[in-house]
Each structure stands twice: as structure tokens, then as C-alpha cells.
Amino acid sequence: MEILRQLQQHLPAFALDVLRLCVWLLLLMLVFIPLERFCALHAQKVLRQGFVTDLAYYFINSLLPKLLLALPLSIIALGLHATVPGGWYAWVAAMPLGLRFVAAMVVGEFGAYWGHRWSHEFPLLWRFHAIHHSAEEMDWLVNTRAHPLDMVFTRLCGLVPIYVLGLAQPTGNSVDVVPMLYVIFATVWSFFIHANVRWRFGWLEQLVATPAFHHWHHTNDGADYINKNYAAIFPWVDRIFGSYYLPAQQWPLKYGIDALTEPNLAGQLWQPLRL
């Protein structure tokens, strides 16, 4: 703790954020690289094609979306606190933190589901989201391959209903940990469901998203299999809206998209913005 306090005093905020990300990256590598080595679904190199680009996305998408979300979420929070009766926020504030977090997870999943689904159904949004689906090899780091504006949109769709229902910052006068916990949990789980592991989880796959469930979301096996499994945490949300697909034994044969994608980071960031 003393080391952390000293760093906070002497390092600029941005440098401290980068240092934290480096530590988290090291931890993720220590977990997932051996896991994918010994429990691999597909035999592939650690330094696969696009690994360095996805590593750059890890830092960009850990820093930039947070900054881009600050203003719209602040406006939404101010607007809600000005229009929603204070009694509602007082009632939500009295909920135990654990219950409020679970409620936020469920509510946020419904919002994120539709944000994700719209990213597939609307051509303008798909131009940005296609970057994420361009990966032809799946592993934990593919989770970070996303255009920052695509990530901002999907995350905003998940956070807005949490704010609307008062599950985040219900009292309006203090920082609330619920949205932070929601984003952290969803992010960590997203690394897992992208992982190149062959595990299946039986009946648990009906309750929580798994690598098998999400790998089918990334499949390029044909028109009958694409545009399924939009949920990131709770697959039963896909069941409700008719987009669930998870065979008992089968895995996708190939991943990616048919459209051409720029091979480098700069090209991928610019590609959706071209007229």
C-alpha cells in the first residue's frame, strides 16, 4: 500500500493508469496463456496474426472509452436526478449493495444485449463492430479488438438503463461503486468467453455465457449460424429474444467475416470512418 501511495504522489494520473494496465495485462497473460496452452480448442501460436495489434487495442480501449463516456453519463445522471422523484432514489439507495449489483448486472445485460444486436443489424453500427469480428483466430486477447467508438456505444447501452433505474449513484451526492463493478466484471468475463479453451460446462451453460456460447457468436460457418448469442453474461437473454444457439458438442469450424479488413491498427481505426 505504501508503494501505491508513493506512486500516486509522484506519477501523473495517465502514467499511473498505464502502469495499472501493464500489471493487469501481466496477470491476464499469466492466467490465459498457460490455460490456452494446455486446454486449447484450436492449436495456434500465442503470437498469432494480429496479436500485437490487439495488444495495442488493449491499452486504447482501456483508456479512451472511459474518457468518452464521462460526458454523456454525467448529462444522463444530471437529467435523471432532475426529473425522477427523489423517493425512488432513496428506496434504491436502501437496497443492500449485493442486491443492487445483481440487479445492475441483469438490467445492464438487457441494455448491452440490444446495443450489441443493433451493432449487427444497422449497417452504420456494423461498420465499427466488424473490426471485432474480423479476428480469424480466437483467444482471450481478441476481447480487446474493438473500435473505441463501438465499445463506447455498447457500454453506453448497458450503463444507461442502470442509471435510469437509479442502480448507479442513487443518492446523487457520492461516487457509487456499482457501475464500476459492473464494468470490471463484464470486462473480465469477456476475456474468458473469448478464450481458446475446449471446456464445456453442462447445465451451467444455460445460466452464464461460456467460451462455447460466445465462439458461436464469432463463427463464419454460414448464414444459418451467424448473428446469434449477443449476450455477454446471461445466455437466457438470447433465449428470450430468439437469438440463442448452442449445440451440445459442436464448435465453429472457422471465425471472422468475409469483408476485407485493414491489416494494421491505424487502418482499422480509420476504416469505419471512411465515406
Task: Supply the pTM of this predicted model.
Answer: 0.89
User: Quick one: cell of 77?
Assistant: 445522471
More confident residue, 85 or 56: 56
* Residue 40 neighbours by CB under 8 Å, 6+ apart: 196, 197, 198
For residues 222 and 190, the answer to whether their CB atoms sit within 8 Å is no
For residues 29 and 51, the answer to whether their CB atoms sit within 8 Å is no
Task: Please write the tens of the pLDDT for every residue from 131-181.
Answer: 999 999 999 999 999 999 999 999 999 988 988 888 876 555 556 788 888
Task: Please write the tens of the pLDDT for every residue from 197-246.
Answer: 999 999 999 999 999 999 999 999 999 999 999 999 999 999 999 999 99
As a whole number of angstroms, the distance between CA 83 and CA 77 comes to: 10
As a whole number of angstroms, the distance between CA 140 and CA 28 comes to: 9
Looking at 85-89, 111-115, 121-125, 259-263, which range is the least confident one? 85-89
For residues 212 and 251, the answer to whether their CB atoms sit within 8 Å is yes
**What is 117-164 written as a DSSP string?**
HHHHHSHHHHHHHHHHHT-SS--GGGGG-S-HHHHHHHHHHHHHHHHH
